[in-house]
Amino acid sequence: MADTLLVVRDLSMRFGGLLAVNGVSLTVDERQIVSVIGPNGAGKTTVFNCISGFYTPTEGEVVFQGKAMHKLPGHKIAREGMVRTFQNIRLFKEMTVLENLLVAQHMHAERNLLKGLLLTKNFRIKEQELVERAAFWLERVGLLDFANREAGTLAYGQQRRLEIARCMVTQPKLLMLDEPAAGLNPKETAELNALIRELCHQHQVSVLLIEHDMKLVMDISDQIVVINQGAPLATGTPEEIQRNPDVIKAYLGEE
Ligand SMILES: Nc1ncnc2c1ncn2[C@@H]1O[C@H](COP(=O)(O)OP(=O)(O)OP(=O)(O)O)[C@@H](O)[C@H]1O
């Protein structure tokens, strides 16, 4: 049986009088794809923000590889191996595609370590490693030919793939994708589907996904967590979720 990577227990997040997330729990095992679904405003992104350290949850625990994360800032959580993309693409649009991946690796590395490496011959070796890793992931996401293009000039679907590459160069254990298929055409969504599977099955990365594209979610997920109005509604396999009457009523029935 696969080891458990992430455990989220009884997570709640309050914004003033609004309880945006109310007692959500989920687990992600190694090499597992878990999706979080729910109607607009259900609290999915807030759950992501709590897990990835953008918010400190009002209540609950986030334990990643046995370590408590819920009081750590986002950059420390990322260094533990849990990285994310955002609903709105956040690339350095005026930098080249390659530079985006190099900066991501520099930002991810311990600053003290980098300082120590500067001016030493190890620095050059290290830089070479970063470029090679960037090239590897650009190739995997089909952007190697675009390495020297400004990121902002890429087509939308390419920018989405670059965001994933930017996460992958930091060698995460868990990749969190917030609506990665938003704005993609069916061909690009099919490519995304294949890429996520490849990350999971060939590169041993677990994936936690927020997604509105039900076809993608049902096709790709090992487990699905359904949230409604901030509260947990159901957890199960795609088959279990598709025939769960509460889910059909609260969510799928709306489609
Ligand atoms: N920083 C914040 N301050 C106040 N309220 C917030 C904040 N972030 C989210 N909310 C509120 O929390 C609720 C859940 O929002 P959230 O963005 O997590 O939902 P979602 O399920 O991700 O929605 P969508 O599918 O539309 O992206 C909403 O009512 C939203 O307005």
Percent of the chain with pLDDT over 70: 91
The mean per-residue pLDDT over the stretch 113-140 comes to 77
Which atom belonging to ligand 1 lies closest to the Cα atom of 87?
A: 27
The mean per-residue pLDDT over the stretch 181-186 comes to 93
State the sign of the Cα–Cα–Cα–Cα dihedral 83, 194, 251, 245: negative
How many domains would you assign to the chain?
Answer: 2
- Give the domain extent around 210: 1-81+172-254
- In CATH, what number is assigned to the domain containing residue 17? 3.40.50.300
The mean per-residue pLDDT over the stretch 17-36 comes to 97
Q: Which residue has the higher pLDDT, 37 or 120?
A: 37
The mean per-residue pLDDT over the stretch 22-34 comes to 97
The mean per-residue pLDDT over the stretch 186-210 comes to 95
Domain match, 76 and 1 both? yes
The mean per-residue pLDDT over the stretch 233-247 comes to 94
Task: Give the range among 73-77, 160-164, 206-210 with minimum mean pLDDT.
Answer: 73-77
Res 187 pLDDT > 80: yes
pLDDT at residue number 106: 82
Which atom belonging to ligand 1 lies closest to the Cα atom of 38?
A: 21
The mean per-residue pLDDT over the stretch 195-208 comes to 95
Residue nearest to atom 29 of ligand 1 (CA): 41
Domain match, 139 and 199 both? no
Q: How far apart are CA 144 and CA 161, in angstroms?
A: 12
Q: Which long-range contacts (CB under 8 A, 24 or more apart) does 140-148 make?
A: 140/165, 140/168, 140/195, 140/198, 141/165, 141/195, 142/191, 143/97, 146/97, 147/96, 147/97, 147/98, 148/96, 148/97, 148/98
Q: What is the mean pLDDT of the chain?
A: 91
Indicate the residue among 130, 154, 171 that finishes a domain: 171
This model of the complex carries an ipTM of 0.93
Domain match, 141 and 200 both? no
Domain match, 98 and 158 both? yes
Residue nearest to atom 2 of ligand 1 (CA): 15
Of the pLDDT bands very low, low, confident and very high (cuts 50, 70, 90), residue 129 is: confident
What lies within 8 Å, CB to CB, of 8 at 6+ separation is: 24, 25, 26, 27, 47, 51, 60, 61, 62, 63
Which atom belonging to ligand 1 lies closest to the Cα atom of 13?
A: 12
Of the pLDDT bands very low, low, confident and very high (cuts 50, 70, 90), residue 112 is: low
Residue nearest to atom 10 of ligand 1 (CA): 20
Indicate the residue among 155, 171, 187 that finishes a domain: 171
pLDDT tens-place string over residues 57-95: 999 999 999 999 988 998 899 999 999 998 777 888 899
State the sign of the Cα–Cα–Cα–Cα dihedral 193, 238, 183, 42: negative
